[in-house]
Structure 1
Amino acid sequence: MKPLLSSLIRFCQKELDKGRYTQPSCKRWQPLLSFIGGLIAISCLGIISNLSNYSLLVAPFGASTVLLFAAPNSPLAQPRNLVFGNLTGAISAVLCVFLIGTSPLASGIAVGLAIALGQAFRCLHPPAGAVALLGVLLKASPIFILIPVLSGSLILLVIAFCFHRLQKREQSYPLHWL
């Protein structure tokens, strides 16, 4: 067992030394700032959800929040990707529910369509797959596209924009709008 473990350690060390992949690093206070940004964003969505009696897709927006506050320089976190990516997921869900129903096949097609549309329109946003899946599971109607998906995406965008503007950073969010 010991030789196997030491071989595994040597292999891992060689891979790390190659520099093929390194975990992203962050500045000392970034985890705390990311926590605060996520707390504010999801809390605001929750309050608005309670006031409006509309569920604001906490799971996909939670994933979007990770991108917006922990990796704001990622191409997948830019406004075009956030808003249009989530819209492609919502549209995919509504179309699949209308044309196919709510079967597992419809869920798969909705997610696949969200990915394909995100790539085709250069607005790929990984949480859009969760939007598509959740939309099918919730039997989304056309209003789902506007409320909660578009409204929630725009609210997240405004919060992220304001939050990052308040910080004194070398490069502020967003890197580009479109």
Structure 2
Amino acid sequence: MPRRFRYLLVRHEERPSSFLVGAKQAVGGGLAIATIGGLAGATELPLLLAPFGATSVILFSAPASPFAQPINVLVAYVLATLTCLLFGAFLPPHWLVAASGVAVVMLLMALFRTTHPPAGAIPILLLGGTPPEMLLKTVPPGALCLVLVAILYHALPPSPVQYPRR
């Protein structure tokens, strides 16, 4: 590989302090998604959304990150959902509408200082035919569920994690 591209292969992420800490992160993410899946089965709402998988990775593998803080997760998903409601009410499902929705969500997250990258994917769900009103019933409750599981789970040993940051 040419030398000028080697920097692309450098890892900057620290190793988990132990196997147990890494395993705890993985189990937490799986438990959060399982909780949402259980709620989806009980309520018959399509709560299992792809962006929630990415949110779980951030919440459980990088809980100190600004992107993982409850305010970021909750506000970003609400902003994304409201953007979808507005776009869905006036515009047809089209790739250009989805791209514009992602851009608007990014701008709103920046203005509100609540960036949470997985929330930027919510406008893309409109392309799959998800009714905007359904997003209102699924996205905010799903995001809240993930945050609550993270708060409870991070208090458990081994190595309890301070979450949210104070």
Structure 1 counterpart of 2:29? 38
What do the CA deviations read for 1:95-138 (whole angstroms, capped 9, x no partner)?
A: 11112121111101111111110000011100111122114533
For the residue of structure 2 that corresponds to 1:166, the secondary structure is coil
1:95 to 73, 86, 93: 86
Instruction: Tell me: CA distance 1:163–1:47, structure 2 relative to 1, closer, same or farther (3 Å).
Output: same
TM-score in terms of structure 1 length: 0.82
Equivalent pair of 1:93/1:135 in contact (CA under 8 Å): yes
Matched, 1:173 2:159: no
Instruction: Tell me: CA distance 1:170–1:141, structure 2 relative to 1, closer, same or farther (3 Å).
Output: closer
Over alpha carbons, which structure has the higher Rg?
A: 1
Q: CA deviation at 1:22?
A: 2.4
Q: Which amino acid aligns with 2:143?
A: S
* Structure 1 residue ranges (4+ consecutive) displaced by more than 4 angstroms after TM superposition: 10-13
Matched, 1:150 2:140: yes
Equivalent pair of 2:63/2:163 in contact (CA under 8 Å): yes
For the residue of structure 2 that corresponds to 1:87, the secondary structure is helix
Instruction: Tell me: CA distance 1:166–1:23, structure 2 relative to 1, closer, same or farther (3 Å).
Output: closer
TM-score in terms of structure 2 length: 0.88
Q: In structure 2, what is the Cα distance between the partners aligned to 1:116 and 1:11?
A: 31
**Matched positions, count:** 164
For the residue of structure 1 that corresponds to 2:132, the secondary structure is coil
- Aligned-residue identity in percent: 29
Structure 1 counterpart of 2:115? 124
2:73 to 82, 85, 97: 82
Equivalent pair of 1:92/1:114 in contact (CA under 8 Å): yes
Instruction: Tell me: CA distance 1:39–1:171, structure 2 relative to 1, closer, same or farther (3 Å).
Output: closer
Q: Which amino acid aligns with 1:104?
A: W
Q: In structure 1, what is the Cα distance between the partners aligned to 2:110 and 2:127?
A: 21
Matched, 1:48 2:39: yes
Q: In structure 2, what is the Cα distance between the partners aligned to 1:69 and 1:32?
A: 10
Q: In structure 2, what is the Cα distance between the partners aligned to 1:23 and 1:57?
A: 28
For structure 2, list consecutive stretches of 5 or more residues without a partner in the other structure: none
Structure 2 counterpart of 1:164? 154
